Amino acid sequence: MSATALVSGAVSPELRRAQENAVVEMVQIGPVAEELAQRFTAAGHRLYLVGGSVRDALLRRDSQDLDFTTDARPDAVLALLAGWADAVWDTGIDFGTVGARKRGTTVEITTFRADAYDRVTRNPVVAFGETIEDDLVRRDFTLNAMAVELTGDERRFVDPHGGLAALAAGTLDTPATPEESFADDPLRMLRAARFVSQLGLTPAPRVLAAMTAMAGELARITRERVQTELSKLICGTHPRRAIELMVDTGLADQVLPEVPAMRLAIDEHMQHKDVYTHSLVVMEQAIDRETDGPDLVLRLAALLHDIGKPDTRRKESDGRVSFHHHEVVGAKMTRKRLRELRYPKSVVDEVSQLVFLHLRFHGYGTGEWTDSAVRRYVTDAGPLLDRLHKLVRSDCTTRNRRRAAALQRSYDSLEERIAQLRKKEELDAIRPDLDGNAIMQLLGIPPGPLVGKAYKHLLALRMERGPMTREQAEAELRSWAEQNGVA
């Protein structure tokens, strides 16, 4: 039975109880949770499966992480886990949370909370609650404010804020007023967009209004936490809907201001309302080309590949709009923004390089590139070549079928050329025909900058001509040394 079927229409108290019993049956309780419940019951405490664990169980989403809440204080929780858990950690104990692992399942157990917030940072003044209702009202969204009691004579479904109905309706709402919830923790606004992406939910009108009015509060949140939510959002099932929500509410101005800025730049092909819409389409098309799950680097590159256009927009004498060198400007902007969001260096480098390279293909035409140009394309892309293929193909959003087909044929031709050269030349590992040791031995020079210059010269020749014999490479090196006065 689905969650939707369980909450359809008005129901009597008897039917509601039957529905709640059915919900409890839907929430499959594994042996780890059963064992925990028995230990807490024996000690006279109450234990509830709560929040995302209940939500995901109702959605039939697998998870190896389980969240619990309890009336037991942290010291009592630690005592109950001793001798049972394979590992225990108390890094969150100041906030009432104890973590543990048992047979590959991670559990977090948090004492009922009834926190207050200072509304300057997002840090709560931790206060323990007395009831499950105290705990659930402080949670971010109603779909995370559901619980199943595991202790006592029988399991009991607890849903004081209508989370099940909201989940069935696909609605995102807050237990308290959204203004209270977002003032307590502004990161919840970005988390709302993340749930839109991951679960395809629609925010309630009052949630939308509060997000729009309070978007600036997100500035209170550390960039690291913002980045974590943004990455989950980008890798969700419906990232376009989430990005549109962020732009419409003003959240994007706080996180990725370059994205709403693209609404100001008209696409030069006049096929889209603006570059912003084009970029969203490119992201969706790139997602369709993924072969091994969500690819954060590819999705970010697709979303950001044209962010340099507003700064390079020019109106030409014939009335058309141009964006010359927007890939160069865009790569620099991408690097700056991702650094500001504290992304790892590898992500910053890879996304920026894809943005920088995304226009390179358009010089290929119908195959005019020399083998040297193809080699440079592959070498510059390096391990990003497969992603670059996907990005470039996704960047074709024209509604002109003939033009779209011509572009795809042209890229097919380039990939065929790459495959042919790769067969002949070990294209993925292009190196000069002489290494540094051979250069030093032949020219009789010590290690130093001169060896690097000689190496670059031979690499350029390798790119231009393809593989050379040892004799040809040595002759070229001697010629270079003579021209540059190298003894």
Residue 273: pLDDT band by 50, 70, 90 thresholds?
Answer: low
Give 480 or 183, the one with higher predicted confidence. 183
The pLDDT value recorded for residue 396 is 86
pLDDT value of residue 15: 55
| The predicted structure's pLDDT at residue 28 | 72
pLDDT band at 429 (very low <50, low <70, confident <90, very high): low
* Contacts of 10 by beta carbon, 8 Å cutoff, 6+ apart: none
Placement of tokens 């309890």 in the chain: 70
As a whole number, mean pLDDT of residues 52-75 equals: 89
Band (pLDDT 50/70/90 cuts) for residue 367 is confident
* Phi, psi angle pair for 82, to nearest 5°: -60, 130
In the structure, what pLDDT confidence band is assigned to residue 75 with cuts at 50, 70 and 90?
very high
Element (H, E) at 206: helix 205-214
pLDDT of residue 8: 43
pLDDT band at 2 (very low <50, low <70, confident <90, very high): very low
Band (pLDDT 50/70/90 cuts) for residue 375 is confident
Query: Tokens standing for 240?
Result: 């376009």
Q: How confident is the model at residue 69 (pLDDT cuts 50, 70, 90)?
A: very high
Report percent pLDDT > 70 for the chain.
Answer: 88
- pLDDT at residue 9 tops 50: no
Q: Specify the DSSP class assigned to residue 113.
A: B
The separation between the first and the last C-alpha atoms of the chain, rounded to the nearest angstrom, is: 84
Q: Are 186 and 195 in contact (CB under 8 A)?
A: no
Q: For residues 70 and 156, what is the distance between their CA atoms, to the nearest angstrom?
A: 14
pLDDT of residue 116: 65
With 70 as the cut, is the pLDDT of residue 66 above it?
Answer: yes
Spatial distance between the Cα atoms of 341 and 239, rounded to a whole number of angstroms: 18
Alpha-carbon radius of gyration of the chain? 29
Arithmetic mean of pLDDT, 264-287: 78
Mean pLDDT of 57-86: 91
Rounded to whole angstroms, what are the CA distances from 106 to 26, 79, 189, 249?
Answer: 21, 17, 27, 36
**pLDDT interval class at 266 (50, 70, 90):** low
Structure confidence at residue 5 (pLDDT): 45
- Full-model pTM: 0.81
**What's residue 353's pLDDT?**
97
Q: What is the pLDDT of residues 230-243, one digit of tens each?
A: 999 999 999 999 99
DSSP secondary structure code for residue 149 in this structure: E
Per-residue pLDDT, 454: 83
Amino acid at 106: T
Query: What is the pLDDT at residue 433?
Result: 64
Residue 218 vs residue 16, higher pLDDT:
218
Both tokens of residue 77?
A: 């929780």
Nearest Cα residue to 479 out of 466, 452, 461, 463:
461
Q: How confident is the model at residue 324 (pLDDT cuts 50, 70, 90)?
A: confident
Highest averaged pLDDT of the listed ranges 168-182, 259-273, 427-441: 168-182
| C-alpha span between 293 and 199 (Å, rounded) | 16
Does 11 or 388 have the greater pLDDT score?
388
The residue ranking higher by pLDDT, 330 or 443, is: 330
In this structure, are residues 110 and 94 in contact, taking their beta carbons and an 8 Å threshold? no
Round the average pLDDT of the chain to a whole number and report it.
Answer: 86
Token pair listed for 250: 């003003």
In 10 A of CB 165, how many CB atoms? 18
The answer to whether 102 touches 119, Cβ cutoff 8 Å, is: no
* 412 or 283, higher pLDDT: 283
Classify burial at 445, counting beta carbons within 10 Å of its beta carbon; exposed 0-12, middle 13-18, buried 19 or more: middle
- Contact at 8 Å (CB) between 269 and 231? no
Convert the pLDDT of each residue in 107-148 to its tens digit: 999 999 876 666 665 566 677 888 999 899 989 999 999 999
> For position 270, what pLDDT does the model report?
52
Closest Cα partner for 93 from 118, 111, 106, 79? Answer: 111
